[in-house]
Each structure stands twice: as C-alpha cells, then as structure tokens.
Amino acid sequence: KQEVTQIPAALSVPEGENLVLNCSFTDSAIYNLQWFRQDPGKGLTSLLLIQSSQREQTSGRLNASLDKSSGRSTLYIAASQPGDSATYLCAAPREAAGNKLTFGGGTRVLVKP
C-alpha cells in the first residue's frame, strides 16, 4: 500500500520568497509523480508530471524533482506571489496499483503581500 506524506501541512511566506514543498512516498515502484494545485472549494489543476525515469521537470517558476530511491519529491516555486496561495498536493501511483492515485494530505500555502 502506498502512503504519501506532505510536510509541512501549512506554510506562510512573504511575497518574493522561494517556496519549497516536500512529498514523500513509501513505495518507490511508481509510474510517475504528479503535483497539483487546489484553490479553496475547487478542483485540482495539474502543475507538473514527472515520469519515473526523470529526475526533474520545470514549468515557468515551478520546478519539481524526483528521487525514487529515497521516496521523495520536492516542488520549488521561485519568487512566490500572492496568486500562488493555494493547497498543493502530490500523488504517486504505484505500478502495482494500476491507475489508482494515492494523494498526500497537501500543503496549504499562503503568500503574504
């Protein structure tokens, strides 16, 4: 069974500071790792998808790394903005679990102007 943990559960930073969000998973035999953003009361928006053979993926100010051997992924958001305030979730589907995602509890981010 896959267990996904995200630490910290909440994070508050001043605008302009870089954000570092952590995701750890217990079963390293994963297809990929996907990072999502969720605004309050809304659905999930996919941010980055890292395949199991990749070490990192970048999109604009976002960079995600993946270390399967240690069961960790990190999402970096450079030069944070108030619009980055949201909950960030990671999900790591196990190869043995077919296409079922296991989510972490999320990190709630507040970027203060």
Query: Which positions lie near other proteins, rule CB under 8 A?
Result: 31-32, 34, 36, 41-46, 49, 51, 89, 91, 93, 98-101, 103-106
Minimum Å gap between C-beta 68 and other proteins is 16
E strand spans, the chain: 4-7, 10-14, 19-25, 32-38, 44-51, 56-59, 62-67, 72-77, 86-91, 107-112
Which is closer to other proteins, CB of 9 or CB of 20? 9
Which is closer to other proteins, CB of 10 or CB of 79? 10
